[in-house]
Amino acid sequence: MVEIKKAIFDDIANFYDDWYKTPLGNFADTVENNLIFKYLPELNGKKLLDVGCGTGHYSIRAYSRGATVTGMDFSEKMLYIANEKAKLLSIPLNFILGDMDNIPFNDNTFDVVISVTSLEFSKNPKNPLKEFLRVLKPGCKVVIGVLSKTTLWSKKRVKQAYSPDNIYFYAHFFEPKELKNLLIETGFKSVIIDSSLFLPPNDNYTLPKFVFLREFLGRNFTPLKGAFIVGVGRKEK
């Protein structure tokens, strides 16, 4: 895997959130968000680290659920936008510049670590996973969202990744079993793998009942075949 250039994320920061405003992006965001927070039902009073927070999308949502949030990213421009969004909402979020391979916090600091569509850009995913484990308090939880390797969504992104100027040129997509094994090998316990986003990226998104029905069928009959994979694990007490 080619090591990603930080400048790539700086370059896309100003229009990164535009994806969520499209019908397809809004739908994908909804089902991905639902799956992440399915495994974080109670955040009130919890100290949470959002690794690879980007423009603060999940940091803001975690705060709205009662968490005390620190967001970390290696893109200064992404963090600038995240800070501006927090100011606009008048919410006290702490955003810091940092590298997921070397998280600048002491051992046993956080109650929750989340990382959504960031691990794909690590040259060696075990390194950040070890850091997630280190900064978690004993008995506490990590929730990781990544993009699946074996769906039409990943094939679409691979087609886009023809140039080093595209972020997906640097991405490694995961299989469910691969993510599970990485979490277990790193030392996480009680590992759970789940997925969502079963609709192909070129489907008709003007029919809400249809798309949510397809999502329902996918989650119930092929639960690990979704384009968005979530891995959950706990640090041993």
Give the number of residues written for the chain: 237
Instruction: Kindly report the backbone phi and psi dihedral angles of residue 45, in degrees, each rounded to the nearest multiple of 5, phi listed first.
Output: 80, 0
Q: Can you list the domains of the chain with their CATH numbers?
A: 6-234 (3.40.50.150)
What confidence score (pLDDT) does residue 2 get? 45
pLDDT band at 37 (very low <50, low <70, confident <90, very high): very high
pTM of the model: 0.93
pLDDT per position as a tens digit, 116-142 = 999 999 989 999 999 999 999 999 999
Percent of the chain with pLDDT over 70: 94
Measure the CA–CA gap between 203 and 154, rounded to whole angstroms. 15
Band the pLDDT of 91: cuts 50, 70, 90: very high
